[in-house]
Amino acid sequence: MPGPLHAAGALLFVDEDRAIATRVAEAAGLGALAIERHRFPDGELRLRLPQALPPRVVVWRGLHQPNEKLVELLLVAQTARELGAHDLTLVAPYLGYMRQDMAFRPGESVSQRIVGRFLATLFDAVITVDPHLHRVSSLQAAVPVARATVLSGAPLLAEHIARERGEVVLIGPDEESLQWVASAACLHGWRHAVCHKTRHGDREVDIVLPDVHLAGDAVVLIDDVASSGQTLVRAAELLRAAGARSVDVAVTHALLDEAALARIHQAGVGAFWSTDAVIHPTNAVSIAAAVAGALQV
Please identify every residue annotated as catalytic. 197
How far is 37 from 180, CA to CA, in rounded Å?
A: 36
* Cα-based distances in Å from 140 to 60, 102, 120, 216: 19, 16, 10, 43
Euclidean distance between CA atoms 77 and 169, whole angstroms: 44
For residues 253 and 222, the answer to whether their CB atoms sit within 8 Å is: no
Name the packing angle between helices 288-296 and 18-28 (round to 10°).
40
Contact 268, 242 (CB under 8 A): no
Distance from C-alpha of 85 to C-alpha of 266, rounded to nearest angstrom: 50
Maximum alpha-carbon separation in the chain: 62
- Is-contact 185 219, C-beta < 8 A? no
Q: Tell me the HSE value of 101 on the side-chain side, using a 13 A CA sphere.
A: 15
